Amino acid sequence: MKKTLIAAAGIGLLLAATACSSSDTSSSSSATSLTPANRTTVTAPDLSSYPKLPAAPVQESATAACSYPASGQPIKPVTPPSADGVPTAGTATIAMTTSQGPIGLTLNRAEAPCTVNSFVSLARQGYYNDTPCHRLSTSGLYILQCGDPSGSGRGGPGYGYLNEYPSNQFAPSDPAGQQSVVYPRGTIAMANTGQPGSNGSQFFLVYQDSPLPPQYTVFGTIDDAGLATIEKVAAAGDDGSMSAGGGKPNTPVQIQTVTAS
């Protein structure tokens, strides 16, 4: 199925989440494709009117109980992560090698223990190895999206799970939970369809401050070398192939290996 989610009121962006037959998704914005010839004319939008992300939660327990129910067929055979006794403190270090350069990640268990647990499990099973980053957005939202081994934007691991921070800092009835906040440069977050439990394996890397509703789980940060890699890819723009805007990167990005420690 395919979901479209409205992103930032006042910006006029459409966040297209292309879901798989499982609950995994893709996240991207409507965007004018940038080319090396026109990129120097682009001015970043003024986001001063948007609030920041809320403060991260303080975990009340040393461990969390997670849930990863089956959803659709996995693109690669994987075992769902352990759901019990998931640590809620500390970080996981991710070393990602790509065809365009290294991308290092620091995942924060206190922010999103179930998300970090899933990502680390998939990395250790080789799920992300030899997979493309299939979506680039270079206007309004500044993201590179990866995590679908099929490269179609529809692939997932065969299970799903619920949002964590910052979504869990808003009551379901709170309209502020649907109003855009600034996802800062250097953020890694999960893509979803907007439906409960629709996180899977797809994630997006924010290389410039971007407005989004706080409904995409934030679970870590990107290192300077990784941002340089992503910005190099973004400089070449996208192919404009996606109806909501943006498209495949003009400079292909293939994730070669992902290791977790």
Residue 22: inside a domain: yes
Sort strands 141-146 and 203-206 into parallel, antiparallel or unpaired.
antiparallel
Count other Cβ atoms within 10 Å, centred on residue 42. 11
Averaged pLDDT for residues 17-42: 37
Q: What's the CA gap between 244 and 240, in Å, rounded?
A: 9
State mean pLDDT over 21-43: 37
| Domain containing residue 123 | 2-33+89-260
Q: Any residues with CB less than 8 A from the CB of 224 and at least 6 apart, and which? A: none
The yes-or-no verdict on residue 13 having pLDDT over 90 is: no
Q: Does 63 reside within a domain?
A: no
On whether residue 101 sits in a domain, the answer given is yes
Domain contains 54: no
And the tokens for 187?
């953020």
Q: Is the pLDDT of residue 26 over 80?
A: no
Distance in angstroms (rounded) separating the CA atoms of residues 67 and 26: 21
Q: Of 50-54, 156-160, 239-243, which range is least confident?
A: 239-243
Beta bridge partners of 199: 161
Q: Residue 88 is encoded by which pair of tokens?
A: 């809620």
Residue 41 lies in a domain: no
Least confident of 4-8, 72-76, 111-115, 117-121: 4-8
Q: Helix, strand, or coil here: 108?
A: strand
Distance linking the first and last C-alpha atoms of the chain = 35
Position 50 in a domain: no
Question: pLDDT tens digits, residue range 184-217?
Answer: 999 999 999 889 999 999 999 999 999 999 999 9
- The Cβ of residue 152 has, within 10 Å, a number of other Cβ atoms equal to 13
State how far the Cα of 48 lies from the Cα of 225, in Å rounded to an integer. Answer: 27
Residue 257 or residue 27, greater confidence: 257
Task: Report the predicted TM-score, pTM, of the whole model to 2 decimal places.
Answer: 0.86
Question: How many separate domains does the chain show?
Answer: 1
Residue 33 pLDDT grade (very low, low, confident, very high; cuts 50, 70, 90): very low
CATH number at residue 221: 2.40.100.10
pLDDT given for residue 5 in this prediction: 28
6 pLDDT more than 80: no
Residue 141 in domain = yes
| Residue 10 in domain | yes
For 162, the token pair is 């619920």
pLDDT given at position 18: 39
